[in-house]
């Protein structure tokens, strides 16, 4: 049965290869400008995603019939899917710790895998309409498939080295997809920034893998979880892993790449920032959670990072005018909620919110794409009054924002309450700070979600006809809803965004839920009151003198530029000058010296035989005189 798990991972990879190859083939009847390559690429991508989804559903059915592990300390996911599949395809001998090319499917991996394939399929279908005028669609869809395959490899890997392979392929694909419209310098710079920042965290992640693997004598995840790793080694290894988690999941201090990554196509934002790459860091901590529980200092660090990140990103979202950047900072904030749950000792709450967030954030990004296509701009100051022109988009966005705010009965109400309750009842050293930050973030989340909702769909219409669509949009819909190929995915994603939370209704702490609901409504009410009084003005003015710092995300990018970027550039320029003037100068100087010496030597080579004989006789005479004198 492990072959089925391998197929789930391999099918998107094969679709990527087939899409790229088939797009280069011609039947002989095709004109150079027709859409045959587009249709072939779309067929391969959607068929592979659909097959992976069907096989994942089959895995759910298989694992449901598994035996329940004994013992009180069994993982939480065994309550849902008690079964487990694992198989080793090959063992690579390295001379020290072997690498097992193995896959495993249990409740945790299938839960995350289901999220990945559902969102990936929705994105592929949505992209058929979104990228219909894009000449590079075949490569785009192929890289989306490859990205999906890499994330599934991370989810189903049974060995940390195999997991790391998928981890790095995700980084490469994110670079290619964020920079899809590379002709725009801002897009290419955003792609490079995302690649470099996440690579910085991945250096620590790789050394963390080595630390835990060598300490356990194996890179297999099960062996590491069962190994008796010394506390100091566990702390060192998990802190190193946390660097990679901060990079991939855009947590403090490596969060700066995510808002700039909005330069990529909107479906890529939905895929990367909802269900795949940013969720990978949280998934890794949950997968290795017993090791993290044995390294309490690491969880304390994670708690502080989460407390700072969730509130700071929420305040930044409140001041943004770009709709996609609002959602980007919202993603950073919500991922910090998951990190807070892990720091508080509840991997159950973290994974519950990860799945819930994946559904409603993918929905919100795809809805944002519909709005941007309609308005011809990313800026909310260019929107307004869209609820009548885009009724489907309005209601699906309303469901997504309700889930983001944590309003019942949307899924975010239940999953966010699970996180708040876990933090409230935790006993860590940072618990008071973390809990206060979580509640404040609930209020700010209600404020920025309400602001985005009002400025986009209510008030006076501010859309003006544009001569050409701006970079990053394929076309404008001229007052109409999007094509059905784009509406169906948002309609499907709206269902889990609305109803998924009922799976955890029995575990709701109603006291904590009531407090967080009141705080969310308070934040929403303040924004509504400000907007009601002046619909043509931005409710973000409530921030007062802090609006500019929040809009600039507290100048973290400027700080990094001053402390890191500019000094490195100055050092690079100094190295270039040293190379040009010292190293190259020495080489050029030795060449000139050789040429000068050769010129002197050349003076003795006149071609006059009489001069040569005279010189020879003079030399002999001098030798003879010297011999007589010295003897």
Q: Yes or no: say if 368 and 361 are a contact pair by the CB < 8 Å rule.
A: no
Q: What pLDDT digit, counting tens, does each position of 319-343 carry? A: 999 999 999 999 999 999 999 999 9
Q: What pLDDT digit, counting tens, does each position of 123-155 carry? A: 999 999 888 878 888 889 999 999 999 999 999
Cα–Cα dist 117/359, whole Å: 11
What would the mean pLDDT of 156-185 be, rounded to a whole number?
A: 92
* 212, two tokens: 């835990």
Predicted pLDDT at 27 = 44
Cα–Cα dist 512/503, whole Å: 18
Cα–Cα dist 53/121, whole Å: 8
Q: Is the pLDDT of residue 602 over 80?
A: no
Q: How far from the centroid of its chain's Cα atoms is residue 280's Cα?
A: 8
User: Domain map of the chain by residue range?
Assistant: 295-551, 560-630
Predicted pLDDT at 517 = 95
Predicted pLDDT at 29 = 46
Predicted pLDDT at 160 = 96
Torsion of CA 238, 244, 246, 249, to 10 degrees: -120
Predicted pLDDT at 100 = 92
Give the H or E element holding residue 92.
strand 85-92
Predicted pLDDT at 465 = 46
Q: What is the DSSP annotation of 145-166?
A: HHHHHHHHHHHHBSBHHHHHHH
From its phi and psi, is residue 553 left (phi > 0), alpha (psi between -120 and 50) or beta? left
**70 phi and psi, to 5 degrees?**
-80, 160
Q: Yes or no: say if 431 and 344 are a contact pair by the CB < 8 Å rule.
A: yes
Cα–Cα dist 581/369, whole Å: 52
How many C-beta atoms surround the C-beta of residue 551 within 10 A?
17
Predicted pLDDT at 71 = 55
Q: Which of 178-192, 210-224, 477-491 has the lowest mean pLDDT?
A: 477-491
Residue 434's closest CA among 343, 346, 348? 343
**230 phi and psi, to 5 degrees?**
-55, 150
* 52, two tokens: 């992976």
Long-range contacts of range 128-132, CB-CB < 8 Å, 24 or more positions apart?
A: 128/42, 128/46, 128/485, 129/482, 129/483, 129/484, 129/485, 129/486, 130/265, 130/266, 130/267, 130/369, 130/373, 130/474, 130/486, 131/265, 131/267, 131/474, 132/38, 132/474, 132/475, 132/483
Q: What is the DSSP annotation of 491-560?
A: HHHHHHHHHGGGGGGGG--HHHHHHHHHHHHHHHHHHHHHHHH-TTS-GGGGGGGGHHHHHTGGGHHHHH
Q: Yes or no: say if 89 and 102 are a contact pair by the CB < 8 Å rule.
A: yes
Residue 274's closest CA among 303, 310, 250? 250
Q: What pLDDT digit, counting tens, does each position of 492-514 carry? A: 999 999 999 888 887 788 999 99
Cα–Cα dist 277/281, whole Å: 8
Angle at 546 (CA atoms; ends 543, 550), nearest 5 degrees: 95
Q: Kindly indicate the confidence band of residue 68, based on its pLDDT and cuts at 50, 70 and 90.
A: low
Q: What is the DSSP annotation of 288-332?
A: THHHHHT-HHHHHHHHHHHHHHHHHHHHHHHT--BHHHHHHHHHH
Cα–Cα dist 572/22, whole Å: 44
Q: Is the pLDDT of residue 173 over 80?
A: yes
Angle, helices 411-424 vs 510-533, to 10°: value is 120
Report the half-sphere exposure of 154 (CA within 13 A, side-chain side): 29
Q: How far from the centroid of its chain's Cα atoms is residue 288's Cα?
A: 20
Percent of the chain clearing pLDDT 90 (strictly above) = 64
What would the mean pLDDT of 297-325 be, rounded to a whole number?
A: 95
Predicted pLDDT at 450 = 97
Angle, helices 391-405 vs 347-375, to 10°: value is 150
Residue 338's closest CA among 434, 256, 234, 217? 434
Predicted pLDDT at 54 = 96
Q: Is the pLDDT of residue 479 over 90?
A: no
Longest dimension (CA), the chain: 120
Angle, helices 347-375 vs 411-424, to 10°: value is 140
Cα–Cα dist 559/253, whole Å: 11
Alpha helices in 131-216 (DSSP H): 137-156, 160-178, 185-216
Predicted pLDDT at 73 = 61
Q: Kindly indicate the confidence band of residue 588, based on its pLDDT and cuts at 50, 70 and 90.
A: confident
Angle at 170 (CA atoms; ends 114, 274), nearest 5 degrees: 45
What would the mean pLDDT of 370-382 be, rounded to a whole number?
A: 89
* 575, two tokens: 């190295």
What are the residues facing 379 on neighbouring strands? 322
Higher-confidence residue of 258 and 428: namely 258
Q: SS3 of 101, please? A: strand
Q: What pLDDT digit, counting tens, does each position of 197-226 carry? A: 999 999 999 999 999 999 999 999 999 999
Cα–Cα dist 339/341, whole Å: 5
Q: Kindly indicate the confidence band of residue 276, based on its pLDDT and cuts at 50, 70 and 90.
A: confident
Predicted pLDDT at 473 = 46
State the DSSP code for 15: H
Q: Is the pLDDT of residue 477 over 90?
A: no
Q: Is the pLDDT of residue 254 over 60?
A: yes
Predicted pLDDT at 531 = 94
Q: Yes or no: say if 230 and 290 are a contact pair by the CB < 8 Å rule.
A: no
Cα–Cα dist 61/201, whole Å: 37
Provide the mean pLDDT of the chain.
88
Predicted pLDDT at 488 = 92
Q: What pLDDT digit, counting tens, does each position of 229-246 carry? A: 999 999 999 999 999 999
Residue 422's closest CA among 439, 409, 435? 435
What would the mean pLDDT of 577-586 be, rounded to a whole number?
A: 87
Integer angstrom CA distances of residue 423 from 148, 233, 517? 32, 27, 16
Q: What pLDDT digit, counting tens, does each position of 94-125 carry? A: 888 999 999 999 999 999 999 999 999 999 99
């Amino acid at each position: 049965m492990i072959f089925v798990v391998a197929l789930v991972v391999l099918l998107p990879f094969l679709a990527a290869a087939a899409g790229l190859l088939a797009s280069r083939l011609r039947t002989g009847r095709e004109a150079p400008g027709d859409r045959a390559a587009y249709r072939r690429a779309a067929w391969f991508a959607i068929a592979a995603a659909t097959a992976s989804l069907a096989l994942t559903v089959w895995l759910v059915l298989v694992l449901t019939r598994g035996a329940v592990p004994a013992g009180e300390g069994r993982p939480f996911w065994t309550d849902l899917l008690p079964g487990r599949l694992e198989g080793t395809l090959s063992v690579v001998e390295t001379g020290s710790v072997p690498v097992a090319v193995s896959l495993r499917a249990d409740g945790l991996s299938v839960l995350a895998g289901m999220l990945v394939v559902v969102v990936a399929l929705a994105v592929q279908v949505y992209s058929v309409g979104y990228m219909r005028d894009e000449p590079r669609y075949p490569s785009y869809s192929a890289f989306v498939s490859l990205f999906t395959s890499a994330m599934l490899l991370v989810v189903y890997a049974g060995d940390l080295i195999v997991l790391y392979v998928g981890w790095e392929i995700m980084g490469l694909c994110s670079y290619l997809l964020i920079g899809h419209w590379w002709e725009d310098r801002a897009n290419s710079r955003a792609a490079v920034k995302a690649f470099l920042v996440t690579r910085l965290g991945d250096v620590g992640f790789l050394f963390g893998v080595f630390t835990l693997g060598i300490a356990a004598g194996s890179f297999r995840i099960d062996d590491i979880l069962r190994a008796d790793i010394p506390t100091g080694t566990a702390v060192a290894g998990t802190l190193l892993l946390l660097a990679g988690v901060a990079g991939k999941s855009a947590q403090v201090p490596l969060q700066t790449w995510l808002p700039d990554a909005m330069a990529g196509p909107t479906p890529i934002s939905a895929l990367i920032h909802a269900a795949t790459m940013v969720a990978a860091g949280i998934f890794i901590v949950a997968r290795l959670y017993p090791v993290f529980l044995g390294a309490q200092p690491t969880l304390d660090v994670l708690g502080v990072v989460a407390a700072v990140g969730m509130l700071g990103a929420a305040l930044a979202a409140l001041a943004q005018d770009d709709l996609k950047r609002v959602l980007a900072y919202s993603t950073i904030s919500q991922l910090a909620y998951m990190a807070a749950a892990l720091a508080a000792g509840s991997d159950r709450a973290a994974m519950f919110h990860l799945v819930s967030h994946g559904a409603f954030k993918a929905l919100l990004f795809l809805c944002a794409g519909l709005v941007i296509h309609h308005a011809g701009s990313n800026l909310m100051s260019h929107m307004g009054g869209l609820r009548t022109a885009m009724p489907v988009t309005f209601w699906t966005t309303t469901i997504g924002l309700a889930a983001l705010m944590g309003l019942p009965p949307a899924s975010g109400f239940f999953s966010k309450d699970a996180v708040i309750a876990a933090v409230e009842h935790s006993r860590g050293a940072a618990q008071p700070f973390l809990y206060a930050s979580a509640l404040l973030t609930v209020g700010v989340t209600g404020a920025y979600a309400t602001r985005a909702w009002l400025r986009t769909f209510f008030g006076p219409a501010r859309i003006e006809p544009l001569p050409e669509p701006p970079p990053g949009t394929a076309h404008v819909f001229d007052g109409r809803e999007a094509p059905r190929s784009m509406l169906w995915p948002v309609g499907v994603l709206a269902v889990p965004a609305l109803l998924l939370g009922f799976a955890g209704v029995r575990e709701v702490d109603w006291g904590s839920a009531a407090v967080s609901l009141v705080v969310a409504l308070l934040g929403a009410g303040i924004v509504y009151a400000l907007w009601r009084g002046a619909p043509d003005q931005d409710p973000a003015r409530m921030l007062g003198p802090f609006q500019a710092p929040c809009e600039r995300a507290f100048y973290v990018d400027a700080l990094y530029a001053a402390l890191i970027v500019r000094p490195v550039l100055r050092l690079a320029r100094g190295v270039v000058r040293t190379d040009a003037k010292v190293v190259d100068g020495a080489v050029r100087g030795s060449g000139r010296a050789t040429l000068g010496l050769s010129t002197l030597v050349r003076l003795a080579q006149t071609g006059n035989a009489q001069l040569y004989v005279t010189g020879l006789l003079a030399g002999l005479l001098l030798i003879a005189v010297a011999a007589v004198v010295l003897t």
